[in-house]
């Protein structure tokens, strides 16, 4: 069941523009097929009827002329000269019965004439019939000449009509293909125009998700679209008000907490100075108090920083940073300079424009996460391509399940470690700040499995290189 579900998810759904284009193309195809079918049926009947009427008229005229030329003592040998004077229809061959003798055509014999027609003519009635004669569709016309006990037959080939219909069929198929293609083009054009307002909504939603809460949709002078724009803008205004109110609340609460925190910190500092005067039990309680107070202070500072992100007040102070030197300095600051660093830069300096303070906090949070929650830091790697630079941090912990790899960057999310709080447990804000700081740099951060197949996780941050990077062409 899991495999089927994953396969279904891997199948990318067809987009709305594609579906509209396909609908136009299929409609054009169906319309072309219907019109082609109707045209073929009507054309076939019209061509065959016209051919039959023409052949019947000529056959009657020829029968009259032949009747005028016959004499009581005429024989079959006299018939060829008489037939030469008759009107000949293209694709037709005459046959004549004079008393008991027959003048046959080169391709047809007496047995090729349908018995129903010969019986009718022998009874003195003219007639015609469509039949397959000599393997081809033919029109056979019979006219009695009772004055001389004779009958005039003509076999008219209908293959010419079939050839004409074949040409028409090819033309109709070509027109149908052109109509289908034209329908697809019109559908693509119509869907492009129809979906343009949805693209604006999508771009606006993407901008809002990126933190630009002042984004609004412009009115389009269309009643339906204006209602959509008004509803969307009203929703965004309500969302902006709510977010700013929540951010302001968090900021004010955090500010209010700083004063009592300072008082508590000072008090604990005084107690720490006199810890030798306390009993063992009191010193243990003091240590727990100090740890929780430090943790609480960090959480308040993190909340203040997050409130700045929510309020849109966070900004970058960009400076040029040598990535390799920065990574080694971060390891030294965390007393982890003994950890192996894989340098994928080939010994060349790679420079980026970044906020050094924020990037240092990112590295400190990721290194601390690996040290305290990931079973220890096992390695750091650096690599680059033509547009970005990547820094990865490997740990030796249990790893991060695939289902938690996005949630782990949510605020107050501690993943599977939630509920197992220890002395070094955090509040679940460090990785959230990492995500916010990297996003502010127009970069990305994610977690994945280690490439060496070992246990643990690899956190990767990706930052853009400057557009005018002189080493961009170096691979």
The reported pLDDT for the residue numbered 427 is 63
pLDDT above 70 (res 401)? yes
The residue that leads in pLDDT, 243 or 86, is: 86
Residues 6+ apart with CB under 8 A from 168: 39, 40, 43
DSSP 467: T
- pTM greater than 0.75: no
Residue 37 domain flag: yes
pLDDT exceeds 60 at position 261: yes
Q: Do 363 and 336 share a domain, yes or no?
A: yes
pLDDT class of 305 with cuts at 50, 70, 90: confident
Q: Is the domain of 459 the same as that of 327?
A: yes
Identify the CATH number of the domain in which residue 328 sits.
3.30.565.10
| pLDDT value of position 399 | 85
Query: Cα–Cα distances in Å, from 359 out to 132, 200, 225, 273, 301?
Result: 90, 34, 43, 35, 17
> What CATH number does the domain containing 41 carry?
3.30.450.20
Rounded Cα–Cα distance for residues 191 and 214 (Å)? 29
Last residue of a domain, one of 277, 310, 343: 310
pLDDT digits (tens, 9 = 90+) for 214-258: 778 777 767 777 787 788 888 888 877 877 776 677 667 666 777
Q: Look up the domain containing 247 and give its range.
A: 223-310
The tally of domains found in the chain comes to 3
**Residue 48 sits in the same domain as residue 90:** yes
What values do phi and psi take at 363, rounded to 5? -65, -40
Give me the chain's average pLDDT, please: 80
Mean pLDDT to the nearest integer, 365-375: 87
Establish if 182 belongs to a structural domain: no
Same domain, 451 and 347: yes
Q: Do 361 and 450 sit in the same domain of this protein?
A: yes
């Amino acid at each position: 069941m899991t495999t089927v579900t994953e396969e279904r998810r891997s199948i990318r759904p067809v987009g709305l523009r594609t579906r509209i284009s396909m609908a136009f193309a299929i409609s054009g195809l169906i319309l072309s097929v219907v019109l082609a079918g109707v045209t073929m049926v009507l054309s076939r009947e019209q061509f065959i009827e016209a051919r039959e009427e023409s052949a019947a008229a000529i056959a009657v005229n020829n029968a009259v002329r032949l009747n005028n030329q016959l004499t009581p003592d005429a024989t079959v040998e006299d018939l060829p000269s008489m037939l030469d004077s008759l009107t000949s229809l293209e694709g037709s061959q005459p046959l004549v019965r004079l008393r008991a003798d027959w003048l046959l055509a080169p391709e047809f014999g007496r047995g090729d004439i349908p018995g129903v027609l010969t019986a009718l003519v022998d009874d003195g009635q003219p007639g015609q019939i469509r039949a397959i004669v000599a393997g081809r569709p033919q029109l056979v016309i019979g006219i009695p000449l009772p004055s001389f006990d004779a009958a005039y037959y003509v076999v008219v080939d209908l293959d010419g009509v079939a050839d004409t219909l074949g040409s028409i069929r090819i033309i109709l198929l070509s027109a149908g293909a052109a109509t289908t293609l034209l329908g697809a083009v019109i559908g693509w054009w119509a869907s492009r125009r129809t979906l343009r307002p949805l693209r604006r909504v999508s771009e606006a939603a993407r901008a809002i998700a990126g933190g630009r809460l002042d984004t609004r949709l412009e009115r389009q002078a269309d009643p339906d679209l204006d209602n959509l724009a008004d509803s969307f803008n009203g929703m965004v205004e309500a969302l902006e008000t709510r977010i700013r109110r929540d951010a302001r609340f968090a900021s004010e609460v955090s500010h209010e907490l700083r004063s009592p925190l300072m008082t508590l910190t000072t008090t604990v500092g005084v107690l720490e100075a006199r810890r030798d005067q306390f009993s063992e039990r009191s010193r243990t309680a003091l240590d727990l108090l100090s740890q929780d107070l430090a943790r609480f202070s960090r959480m308040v500072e993190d909340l203040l920083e997050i409130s700045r992100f929510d309020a849109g007040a966070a900004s970058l102070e960009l400076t040029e940073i040598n990535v390799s030197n920065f990574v080694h300095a971060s390891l030294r600051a965390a007393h982890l300079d003994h950890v192996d660093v894989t340098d994928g830069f080939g010994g060349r300096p790679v420079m980026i424009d970044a906020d050094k303070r924020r990037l240092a906090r990112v590295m400190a949070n990721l290194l601390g996460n690996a040290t305290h929650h990931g079973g220890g830091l096992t390695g750091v790697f650096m690599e680059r391509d033509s547009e970005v630079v990547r820094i990865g941090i490997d740990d030796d912990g249990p790893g991060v399940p695939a289902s938690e790899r996005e949630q782990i960057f949510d605020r107050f999310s501690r993943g599977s470690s939630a509920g197992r709080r220890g002395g070094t447990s955090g509040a679940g804000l460090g990785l959230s700040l990492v995500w916010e700081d990297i996003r502010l740099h127009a970069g990305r951060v994610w977690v994945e499995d280690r490439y060496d197949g070992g246990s643990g996780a690899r956190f990767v941050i990706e930052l853009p290189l400057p557009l005018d990077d002189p080493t961009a062409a170096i691979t």
